[in-house]
């Protein structure tokens, strides 16, 4: 049952980690039908990782949009193209910043707490107790959190993007004086709903949500059952998620563009 | 129970908010906001070159959006592009002899299909065809005239200095190239305001290799590219005497108001300005003179 790997050099160890993570994903997916019996647990996790993350996502989205509007205004002013700031803000947020920043925040806000929670369950033998009671811990602990992350990320990303557009509009139009009509008409004419909103925002953030919650759940589930182990696992969640998000972002962009 | 209820409500609100945000992004900030609802009819047009025209690009009459490009395919066995236009039913009265033209909105904008009405009394129907088409305007060629690049002069063998007064130097910077016939022959040594004549005194360092420049040459300030930096161009005159160190160039032309020129192109979507842009642009272009 223990998927932790303790032997071999660093290369085989990290390969084994990746392999174990892949196998863990299969176990999570296989446990989906069983976990539907605990659908309330999934809802509770969705509340915890999604609804409770809204504040940080909204505040960060607002400020990312505002700083984009501010920066782009001054660069575009060199070329006399400040009217394009609406479309550039929207495209930058939809294609890159929205999914990536949301995923990084999500890894920091929700991923770490998932890892720490499951890690402490492991350390205090709660998972072993579940197995004793013939409750599949994957179906009751891992899968609801994975599903919650998968569902919450695109929704959070949409909220982030909407707040980003609002922030860009606030700075560009209300503060720096870009024309309101030009701002919106340039944005609507350059943003394509399939290319940017569906491909950029939805698919990317769903993929990031899956990766972040998989890594978080996996790290928590396979943590050494000590307080030090939980601390390491939490750190590894953030590090591995960030690397996975940014590298996956490149791959996804290359495929989806 | 109340604990469970509160997070269920919170989750529900979160999901609703998420989907509301998605609906907002998809409908208010994307091209769907421009789409006309309702039924449409399809008309074909063949173009020799569609340039950068994309599917879902707008179709405009007199600058007003009437539909969009449905599909772009290659006509089997020919090197012409078959473009299907999807036009709103409420704009059903388009004469059959109208001309479909591919325009560029702005200088760097996207391309769209403009329809110029003909005079026929019959109107195109679903599955109809525009016989008269005009392909992409070769705006790039026009722009190419402005985009006179070129490197810096090597200044091997030293330079000599000439002065010129301009009423307006625009954004000319120290170190900007001095060009003759588009080739860099020197650089701007200094730009100062003349305290007596109340204009700009520009000092030019010209490579000593080019010591045959007539002393009645005209000197102008041009912009390389549309948004590029400015440079000084020397247009040789006919005098038998050459420029010497410390000479003053008398015939000067200040920075062109390129904004005015561009303003003529940048009438987004107006079909008249689009079709006339070519002739206006090339005759007014500073590049035509040298």
Please check whether residue B31 touches A, CB under 8 A.
yes
The partner residue sitting opposite B10, judged by closest CB among A47, A190, A196, is A47
Q: Is residue A115 part of a domain?
A: yes
pLDDT at position B107: 62
Judge: A155–B29 Cβ closer than 8 Å, yes or no.
no
Contacts of B48 (CB under 8 A, 6+ apart): B79, B80, B81, B133, B135
> What are B112-132's pLDDT values in tens digits?
888 888 888 888 888 888 888
pLDDT at position B177: 82
Residue listed under structure tokens 């005009």: B134
Please check whether residue A79 touches B, CB under 8 A.
yes
Q: Is residue A23 part of a domain?
A: no
Q: What's the domain count of chain A?
A: 1
- Rg of chain B over all Cα atoms, to the nearest angstrom: 28
Q: Is residue A77 part of a domain?
A: yes
Mean pLDDT of all residues in chain B? 75
Q: Which of A243-257, B96-110, B207-221 has the largest mean confidence?
A: A243-257
Query: The domain containing residue A165 runs over which residues?
Result: 53-256
The partner residue sitting opposite B34, judged by closest CB among A152, A156, A189, is A189
Q: Is residue A57 part of a domain?
A: yes
**Strand, helix or coil for residue A150:** helix
Judge: B11–A47 Cβ closer than 8 Å, yes or no.
yes
Q: Is residue A134 part of a domain?
A: yes
Residue B265 — very low, low, confident or very high, per pLDDT cuts 50/70/90? low
Please check whether residue B16 touches A, CB under 8 A.
no
Residue predicted with more confidence, B248 or A108:
A108
Closest C-alpha among A155, A240, A239 to residue B10: A155
Please check whether residue A257 touches B, CB under 8 A.
no
> What are A218-238's pLDDT values in tens digits?
999 999 888 899 999 999 999
Judge: A162–B227 Cβ closer than 8 Å, yes or no.
no
Residues of chain A with pLDDT under 70: 1-8
Q: Is residue A26 part of a domain?
A: no
Report yes or no: B47 and A87 within 8 Å, Cβ to Cβ: no
Please check whether residue A76 touches B, CB under 8 A.
no
CA–CA gap between residue A156 and residue A147 (Å, rounded): 14
């Amino acid at each position: 049952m223990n998927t932790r790997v303790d032997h071999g050099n660093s290369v085989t160890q990290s390969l084994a980690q990746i392999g174990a993570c892949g196998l863990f994903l299969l176990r999570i997916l296989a446990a989906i039908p069983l976990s539907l019996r605990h659908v309330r647990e999934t809802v509770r996790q969705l509340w915890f990782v999604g609804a409770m993350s809204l504040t940080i996502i909204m505040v960060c989205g607002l400020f990312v949009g505002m700083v984009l509007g501010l920066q782009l205004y001054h660069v575009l002013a060199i070329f006399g193209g400040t009217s394009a700031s609406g479309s550039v803000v929207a495209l930058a947020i939809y294609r890159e910043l929205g999914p990536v920043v949301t995923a990084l925040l999500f890894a920091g806000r929700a991923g770490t707490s998932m890892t720490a929670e499951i890690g402490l369950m492991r350390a205090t033998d709660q998972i072993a107790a579940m197995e004793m009671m013939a409750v599949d811990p994957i179906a009751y602990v891992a899968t609801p959190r994975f599903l919650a992350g998968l569902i919450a990320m695109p929704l959070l990303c949409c909220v982030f993007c909407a707040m980003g557009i609002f922030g860009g509009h606030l700075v560009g139009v209300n503060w720096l004086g870009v024309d309101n009509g030009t701002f919106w008409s340039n944005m609507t004419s350059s943003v394509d709903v399939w290319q940017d909103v569906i491909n950029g925002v939805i698919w990317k953030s769903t993929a990031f949500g899956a990766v972040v919650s998989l890594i978080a759940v996996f790290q928590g589930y396979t943590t050494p059952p000590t307080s030090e182990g939980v601390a390491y696992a939490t750190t590894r969640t953030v590090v591995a998620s960030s690397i996975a998000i940014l590298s996956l972002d490149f791959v996804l962009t290359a495929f989806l563009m | 129970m109340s604990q469970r209820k509160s997070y269920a409500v919170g989750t529900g609100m979160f999901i609703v908010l998420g989907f509301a945000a998605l609906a907002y992004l998809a409908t208010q900030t994307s091209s769907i906001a421009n789409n006309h609802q309702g039924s449409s009819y399809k008309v074909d047009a063949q173009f020799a070159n569609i340039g950068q025209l994309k599917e879902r690009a707008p179709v405009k009459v007199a600058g007003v959006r009437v539909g969009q490009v449905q599909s772009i395919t290659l006509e089997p066995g020919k090197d012409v592009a078959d473009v299907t236009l999807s036009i709103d039913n409420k704009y059903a009265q388009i004469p059959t002899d109208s001309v479909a033209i591919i325009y560029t909105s702005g200088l760097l904008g996207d391309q769209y299909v403009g329809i110029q009405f003909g005079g026929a009394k019959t109107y195109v129907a679903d599955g109809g065809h525009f016989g008269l088409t005009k392909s992409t305007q070769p705006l790039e060629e026009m722009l190419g005239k402005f985009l006179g690049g070129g490197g810096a002069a090597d200044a091997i063998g030293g330079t000599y200095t000439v002065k010129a007064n301009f009423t307006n130097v625009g954004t000319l910077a120290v170190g900007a190239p001095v060009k003759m016939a588009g080739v860099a022959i020197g650089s701007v040594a200094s730009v100062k305001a003349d305290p007596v004549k109340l204009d700009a005194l520009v000092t030019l360092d010209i490579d000593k290799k080019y010591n045959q420049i007539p002393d009645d040459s005209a000197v102008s300030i041009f912009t390389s590219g549309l948004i590029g930096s400015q440079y000084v161009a020397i247009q040789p005159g006919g005098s038998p005497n050459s420029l010497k160190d410390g000479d003053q160039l008398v015939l000067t032309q200040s920075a062109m108001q390129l904004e005015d020129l561009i303003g003529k192109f940048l009438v987004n979507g107006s079909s008249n300005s689009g079709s006339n842009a070519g002739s206006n642009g090339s005759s007014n272009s500073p590049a035509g003179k040298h």
